[in-house]
């Protein structure tokens, strides 16, 4: 196959140790008829070149909104974004829409959960990928089309020369997600934000797609932010993991360490409630009692305290909101009483009645 070299908008090379993407105290809130929903609160993290960071949380934890805010997708909604998002030394939150358009889909690309609604139903897959190329590259339609066929082939679409002219509904779910990844990688982005890319897929197809994403990443050296609710996916592909609860970062650190020794009681609870296929014993699942708080009326103090087995009046869990503070081994935890090997072994309280 011929190699089509698309001219890439080269950014000045930077030191390897400087983070590629830095979020600093990012907050997103929405006005609703019922009041202000503070969906994301003071989220800070860094992503290095080529790294995979997983953002994990339950529904409503703000993980997807965080991913969307990086791309500036709340500009046209009623969302209010404060804080900073710096990419390659440039501030994205204050950038003009015109400038941002050069970065979206080019330096930072996104893969969505539901490719059927992410693709436009009236245009062929090929036309949509061609548009993505020509928006950022001064190439002819013919060259762009050849490049589209090439990336479709790369992601494993059979007979890409024909399927390039098909519409999204003619693709199966797994094929659509492959095409979505093809479109995201076509401009060789520095950062790929994947929002639950395998959630709608069956497990054998999920494995194909995760495999593909790892291959794409190895090929392009792309950094990846994987937004997911599935800790299994985190265990499979992430370098670091960021656990979100009620719009804030509960804990962030290397995957191995966070899983082996969770420091936030919520992380520990999440791990305990997970049925495991790789462990021999049939232990009882340690469910976290209660349910996540409403973001219209979050509880005072630590947002997790109503469900926490380790909460303490003296520590201030009921009244003061803890800040994300550095913990051992390059980790950060938002908790007054982070768990140590000793406290984790302590039996958690019996789940109380919810409601």
Partner 1 sequence: MSEQATIKTSAAAEPLLKVRELEKFFTLPGKGLLQRNGATVYAVNGISLDVHAGRTLGVVGESGCGKSTAGRTIMRLLEPTGGKIEFDGRDITRVKGESLRMLRRQMQMVFQDPKGSLNSRQTIGTILSAPFRIQKVTPPGGTRLAIQDLMDRVGLNPEHYNRYPHEFSGGQQQRIGVARAIALSPKLIVCDEPVSALDASIQAQVVNLLKDIQDETGVAYVFIAHDLAVVRHIADEVAVMYLGQIMERGPMDVVFNRPMHPYTHALLSAVPILDPAARSRERIVLSRDLPSPLAPPSGCVFRTRCPIAQDICAVEAPPVTEPEPGHLIACHFPSTTPPSTSALPMRVIHTSTQKTN
Contact set with partner 1 (CB under 8 A): 1-3, 5-8, 10, 58-59, 150-151, 154, 156, 172-175, 188, 202-208, 210-211, 215, 219-220, 229-236, 255-256, 259, 269-278, 282, 284-289, 291-292, 351, 353-355
Nearer to partner 1, 23 or 210 (CB): 210
Our CA dihedral for 293, 298, 302, 304, rounded to 10 degrees, sits at 0
Q: How far is CA 319 from the centre of its chain?
A: 30
Identify whether the C-beta of residue 102 lies closer than 8 Å to the C-beta of residue 9: yes
Nearer to partner 1, 40 or 157 (CB): 157
Q: If you write DSSP's letter for every residue of 18-43 in order, what string do you get? A: S-SEEEEEEEEEEEETTEEEEEEEEE
Give min distance, CB of 115 to partner 1, in A. Answer: 14
Nearer to partner 1, 12 or 326 (CB): 12
Nearer to partner 1, 57 or 301 (CB): 57
Give min distance, CB of 113 to partner 1, in A. Answer: 15
Task: Please provide residue 13's backbone torsions phi and psi, each rounded to the nearest 5 degrees.
Answer: -70, 140
C-alpha to C-alpha distances, 114 to 131, 176, 177, 196, nearest whole angstrom: 20, 9, 8, 9
Encode 253-266: b = buried (16+ Cβ within 10 Å), e = exposed: bebebbeebbbbbb
Nearer to partner 1, 22 or 222 (CB): 222
Nearer to partner 1, 98 or 158 (CB): 158
Q: What is the largest CA-CA distance in the chain?
A: 69
Nearer to partner 1, 121 or 275 (CB): 275
- Name the burial class of residue 215, with classes exposed (0-12), middle (13-18) and buried (19+) by CB atoms within 10 angstroms of its CB: middle
Going by the DSSP 8-state scheme, the letter that residue 320 receives in this structure is: S
Give min distance, CB of 66 to partner 1, in A. Answer: 17
Residue positions counted in the chain: 355
Give min distance, CB of 272 to partner 1, in A. Answer: 8
Q: If you write DSSP's letter for every residue of 133-156 in order, what string do you get? A: HHHHS---HHHHHHHHHHHHHHTT
Give min distance, CB of 266 to partner 1, in A. Answer: 8
C-alpha to C-alpha distances, 157 to 160, 161, 178, nearest whole angstrom: 6, 9, 7
Give min distance, CB of 170 to partner 1, in A. Answer: 13
Give min distance, CB of 241 to partner 1, in A. Answer: 10
Give min distance, CB of 58 to partner 1, in A. Answer: 4
Considering just the CA atoms, what is the radius of gyration of the chain in Å?
Answer: 21
Nearer to partner 1, 81 or 181 (CB): 181
């Amino acid at each position: 196959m011929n190699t089509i070299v698309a001219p890439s908008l080269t950014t000045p090379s930077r030191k390897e140790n400087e983070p590629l993407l830095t979020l600093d105290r990012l907050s997103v809130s929405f006005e609703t008829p019922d009041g202000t929903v503070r969906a994301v609160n003071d989220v800070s993290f860094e992503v290095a070149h080529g790294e995979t960071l997983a953002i994990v949380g339950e529904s409503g934890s703000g993980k997807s909104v965080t991913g969307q805010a990086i791309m500036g997708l709340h500009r046209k909604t009623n969302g209010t974004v404060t804080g900073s998002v710096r990419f390659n030394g440039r501030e994205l939150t204050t950038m003009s829409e015109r400038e941002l358009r050069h970065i979206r889909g080019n330096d930072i690309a996104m893969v969505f959960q539901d490719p059927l609604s992410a693709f436009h139903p009236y245009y062929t897959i090929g036309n949509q990928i061609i548009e993505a190329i020509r928006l950022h590259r001064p190439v002819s339609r013919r060259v762009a089309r050849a490049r589209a066929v090439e990336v479709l082939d790369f992601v494993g679409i059979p007979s890409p020369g024909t399927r390039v002219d098909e519409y999204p509904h003619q693709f199966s779910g797994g094929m659509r997600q492959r095409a979505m990844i093809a479109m995201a990688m076509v401009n060789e982005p520095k950062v790929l934000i994947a929002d639950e890319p395998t959630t709608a897929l069956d497990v054998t197809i999920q494995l194909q797609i995760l495999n593909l994403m790892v291959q794409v990443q190895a090929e392009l050296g792309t950094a990846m932010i994987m937004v997911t609710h599935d800790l299994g996916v985190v265990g499979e592909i992430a370098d670091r993991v960021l656990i979100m609860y009620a719009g804030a970062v509960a804990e962030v650190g290397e995957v191995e360490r966070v899983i082996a020794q969770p420091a936030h009681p919520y992380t520990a609870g999440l791990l305990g409630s997970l049925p495991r296929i790789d462990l021999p014993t049939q232990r009882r699942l340690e469910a976290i009692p209660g349910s996540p708080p409403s973001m219209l009326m979050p509880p005072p103090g630590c947002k997790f305290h109503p469900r926490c087995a380790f909460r303490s009046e003296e520590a201030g869990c009921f009244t003061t909101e803890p800040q994300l503070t550095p913990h051992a081994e390059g980790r950060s935890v938002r908790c007054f009483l982070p768990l140590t090997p000793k406290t984790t072994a302590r039996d958690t309280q019996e789940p109380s009645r919810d409601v």
